[in-house]
Amino acid sequence: MKCAGLPGPRPCAGVVLVLGGWVAERARAEFLRRVAALLPRLNWLADVYVLAEGEAAQQAAAFDVLRAASEHLARHKLAALRVHPVLTMSGAPAADLAVWERLAACAAPFQHEAYEHCAEPRLLLLPIIEVAPRASPLAAASTARFLRERLMRPTLYFEGNPPPAAAAFQDGESDVLVAREGGAGLRGVARALRAGHVFAGVLRRVEEGGADLLAPCDRLPVLDEGEGCCHFCLARFESGAEDSGLDAAAALLEGRAAAPEGLDCRACVHAACADAEASLAASGRLDEARQVFLRLGVACSRAGDHARGAENARRAAALAASDEGRAAALLHQGLCLLSLGRPAAAEEAFAQGARVSPDPGLFAFHRGRACFARQEDRAAAGLFEEALRSPSREVPEGDVLYELALCRVRLEEFAAARNLLERLLAAGRASAPVFLYLGVCDRGEGRSAAALTRFRQALALGPERADLARVRFFIGACLKDLERYDEAAAELEQAAAADPDDLAAHNLLGFCYYKTKRHAEAVACFRRAVALDPTSAIDHANLGANLRELGRTAEAIAAFEAALALDPDSAFARAALAKLRAGPAGC
């Protein structure tokens, strides 16, 4: 399965260069020539990430790529590049400062050019500084300030939890990347980069509004010099999947390469944003995280992925800085859990939301829905009544009346249910379900003729497919009550066809066939009934009665014996079995 919705052919807005140990001169020169030829194939404004193993290789790779970038920009006056080399702090401040100064010198000509033309620099140096365990966090903060003073906005990268002093980085001028798990090596760095890159894309879509948050990100292809291969995106690099050789890099960067099989962009978006949370916390950007998680949760649930919807809503609730924000997230979490068929967990989320919400009426309604799903009808009815008493404008009064009516029906409080349903009719909310349950109320009170009228009104309004079998069943049941067995059978045949697994439909249809002496068809109905529920003694007995009428005595005896084995107190089965065993004289 290919990832749907990938952008059409267009140049990539970035690339990741993985340069390994970066020691062999000939290999370095060959790869740099390849990079120089590929840079024009990127978007006019592109990001270039440079990853290498070891401090010496990192520095050499950074300067080599910066030279290639400078030469590219000298030839292409409308192009601009943002170069992100990953560099490790050595722990020796003097040596580090010397490296930072040399880096700044690489970008200086483009800063002068920008100053002269009153424009943005066409070469931006945005280093990712890996803070080694031996490096002082205060030294890292000092490094960040030093780089910013030279127009280089750094990102500080930590493996594991950042130290408490990381609060010093929450200045709005430096970003922080945190890799809590699997952070070692180039793939660990790549995972942290992917999390930040994907999150930034989703945040941009949130701020723009209207965009599909689950759409594929602006991918970053990976060119791996050490392995001599290309990866379609960072996620593919992390997994170790080789998508093509370096000779196919041009097609990859120009957006002409087909997405590999099995690429699950939605799962990647979800996982990457979750991975980004630690980095956002260290950067003091938790409100952005909350916004993204809440909107992402909504997007997941709209796409039918309620599990991820619930998880993102849970994260948003945990990060909320206000009661209102937490209540909104808990409401969505509860709705997702309800859609997953987890009413107990949903009710807990709704209960937590009700405690902090300025609008408890809406939560009372949804708590009632959760209780109803757990068949706690009395509790559900109380919550629906609480929602109706609420002054909230957010409470959907019509939905509450309907749900409360269903509670009353299940409690067999038919008069109360009818009153609620008639309020819906008076409000102009006539629908097939409303007439269906009005019919249930009438039949529950023994008024089958009135119920038949209601069920036919429901049928005329075109019930949903899920309700069609029930409407047909109840029409058939009313006709059976009125001893109109042929008509009843015709309706029940349609009910059984619409829902072949409805035990009650097969049972009632078999009874109508029996009453109209269509015993062979009745046998088929009761065989289906006992297949659906082998423990139903009455269906075994009914099967035996129809087999007896067809003269199939041995089979009838076996059916009555099965009925008595399940229900030894069945007088009907016991008497019928005795007559059959007595032979013609006993019949």
Each residue's pLDDT tens digit, 561-582 = 999 999 999 999 999 999 998 8
- Residues in CB range of 235: below 8 A, 6 or more apart: 194, 263, 268
- 582 and 470 inside one domain: no
Task: Verify that 449 and 555 share a domain, yes or no.
Answer: no
Q: What's the average model confidence in pLDDT over 390-419?
A: 96
DSSP secondary structure letter of residue 217: P
What stretch of H or E contains 265?
A: helix 265-282
Q: Which domain holds residue 548?
A: 519-587
Distance of alpha carbon 319 from alpha carbon 330, whole angstroms: 11
pLDDT digit string (tens) for 267-291? 999 999 999 998 888 888 899 999 9
- Indicate the average pLDDT of the chain: 90
Lowest average pLDDT, out of 192-206, 296-310, 327-341, 570-584, goes to: 570-584
Residue 391 covered by a domain = no
Closest CA to 285 of 200, 188, 159: 200
Task: Specify the residue for token string 């931006």.
Answer: 124
**CB-based contact 527:558 (threshold 8 Å):** no
Mean pLDDT confidence for 318-325 = 94
Beta bridge partner(s), residue 48: 15, 83
Are 540 and 465 members of one domain? no
Calculate what percentage of the chain has a pLDDT beyond 90: 69
479's tokens:
């006709």
Number of structural domains in the chain: 3
Q: Say yes or no: 501 and 535 in one domain.
A: no
In the predicted model, is pLDDT for residue 307 greater than 70?
A: yes
Coil/strand/helix, residue 16? strand
Distance, CA of 137 to CA of 162 (rounded, Å): 9
Q: Identify the pLDDT of residue 223.
A: 94
465 and 586 together in one domain: no
Checking if the pLDDT of 409 tops 70, the result is: yes
What pLDDT, in 10s, does the model give residues 73-124? 999 999 999 999 999 887 777 888 888 899 889 999 999 999 898 999 999 9
pLDDT at 181: 63
- Predicted confidence (pLDDT) at residue 7 exceeds the cutoff of 60: no
Question: How far out from the chain centre does Cα 340 lie?
Answer: 11
pTM: 0.81
Tell me, what's the pLDDT at 60? 92
CA distance 331 to 482: 48
Q: Is residue 367 part of a domain?
A: no
* pLDDT of res. 5: 44
pLDDT on residue 184: 64
Q: Check whether residue 483 and residue 451 sit in a common domain.
A: yes
Query: What pLDDT, in 10s, does the model give residues 336-384?
Result: 999 999 999 999 999 999 999 988 899 999 999 999 999 999 999 999 9
Q: Does residue 410 lie within any of the structural domains?
A: no
- Percent of the chain residues past pLDDT 70, beyond the cut: 94
pLDDT (0 to 100) of residue 92: 77
The reply to whether 6 falls in a domain is: no
pLDDT 10s digits, 469-508: 999 999 999 999 999 999 999 999 999 999 999 999 999 9
Averaged pLDDT, 543-550: 95
Beta-bridge mates of residue 301: none
Mean pLDDT of the 522-540 span = 96
Q: Smallest Cα–Cα separation from 559: which of 534, 585, 540? A: 540
Rounded to whole angstroms, the Cα distance separating 409 from 445 reads 11
Q: What is the pLDDT of residue 501?
A: 94
Strand 80-88 relative to strand 45-51: parallel, antiparallel, unpaired? parallel
**Has residue 275 been placed in a domain?**
no
Q: How far apart are CA 420 and CA 434, in angstroms?
A: 10
Asked if residue 4 has pLDDT above 70, the reply is: no
At 3, is the pLDDT very low, low, confident or very high (cuts 50, 70, 90)?
A: very low
pLDDT tens by residue, 153-191: 888 888 876 655 445 555 556 688 887 665 567 888 899
Looking up residue 504, the CATH number of its domain turns out to be 1.25.40.10
For residues 572 and 540, membership in a common domain is answered with yes
User: Between the CA of residue 471 and those of 49, 144, 452, what are the distances in Å?
Assistant: 63, 71, 10
Q: Mapping DSSP to helix (H, G, I), strand (E, B) and coil, where does residue 176 land?
A: strand
Last residue of a domain, which of 270, 304, 320?
Answer: 270
The reported pLDDT for the residue numbered 584 is: 66
Question: Same domain, yes or no, for 445 and 554?
Answer: no
Residue 244's pLDDT band (cuts 50, 70, 90): confident
**Continuous H helices in 321-359:** 323-339, 343-356
Does residue 218 lie within any of the structural domains?
yes
